[in-house]
């Protein structure tokens, strides 16, 4: 586990990116991914997701491309080759889907205010094997099944 603290400016940058992602989706009349019903937390998901990505980029000391109007499937990952899954729940799971790339490393980031804890990671194929398949074709992988973040490839 590794904890990253974001500054006010870093939080602002990530939060604005999340807002822009949501506005772009609204302008294109995009639907929720994976067949999930419309939720009341879409804004929160976009903002918290962007904060998690920013924190991973800071941890890795790499440039974060705050993709807004790019088809995300055209990118190798959210941060470089890494896929980032973010939650605001301290005991939250790494969520994966059958269409996720098997060879990609997926990182679980937990956001609490301006602190982001990187709980661990798995390759896509591992998450699909270790996770419990639940509604909307989503594999839920508990934190105890993740590789330590200090062993990230």
Q: How far apart are CA 77 and CA 121, in angstroms?
A: 14
Q: What predicted TM-score, i.e. pTM, was given to this entire model?
A: 0.90
Neighbouring C-alpha atoms within 13 Å toward the C-beta of 135:
3
Whether residue 96 contacts residue 85, with contact meaning beta carbons closer than 8 Å, is answered with yes
Domain boundaries, the chain: 2-151
Pairing of strands 115-123, 105-112: antiparallel
Dig out the tokens for 85 from the structure. Answer: 């899954």
Tens digits of residue pLDDT in 126-135: 999 999 999 8
Res. 23: pLDDT tops 60:
yes
**Residue 78: how many other CB atoms lie within 10 Å:** 26
Residue 39: partners with Cβ closer than 8 Å, 6 or more residues away: 32, 45
Whether residue 43 contacts residue 3, with contact meaning beta carbons closer than 8 Å, is answered with no
Q: What is the pLDDT of residue 112?
A: 96
Scanning 1-153, the segments in alpha helix (DSSP H) are 8-27, 42-60, 124-130
* 36 vs 14, higher pLDDT: 14
Q: What is the pLDDT of residue 31?
A: 64
Q: Identify the H or E element spanning 112.
A: strand 105-112
Q: How far apart are CA 75 and CA 32, in angstroms?
A: 19
Dig out the tokens for 42 from the structure. Answer: 């879409």
Res. 7: pLDDT tops 80:
yes
CATH number belonging to domain 2-151: 3.40.600
Whether residue 19 contacts residue 42, with contact meaning beta carbons closer than 8 Å, is answered with no
């Amino acid at each position: 586990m590794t904890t990253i603290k974001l500054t006010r400016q870093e939080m602002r940058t990530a939060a604005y990116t999340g807002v822009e992602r949501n506005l772009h989706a609204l302008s294109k009349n995009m639907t929720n991914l994976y067949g999930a019903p419309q939720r009341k937390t879409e804004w929160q998901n976009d903002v918290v997701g962007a904060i998690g990505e920013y924190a991973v980029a800071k941890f890795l000391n790499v440039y974060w491309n705050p993709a807004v109007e790019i088809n995300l499937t055209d990118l190798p990952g959210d941060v470089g080759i890494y896929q980032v899954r973010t939650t605001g729940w301290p005991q939250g799971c790494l969520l994966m889907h059958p269409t996720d790339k098997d060879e990609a490393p997926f990182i679980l980031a937990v956001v609490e205010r301006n602190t982001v804890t990187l709980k661990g990671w798995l390759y896509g194929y591992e998450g699909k094997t270790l996770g419990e398949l639940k509604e909307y074709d989503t594999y839920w992988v508990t934190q105890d099944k993740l590789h330590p973040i200090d062993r990230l490839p």
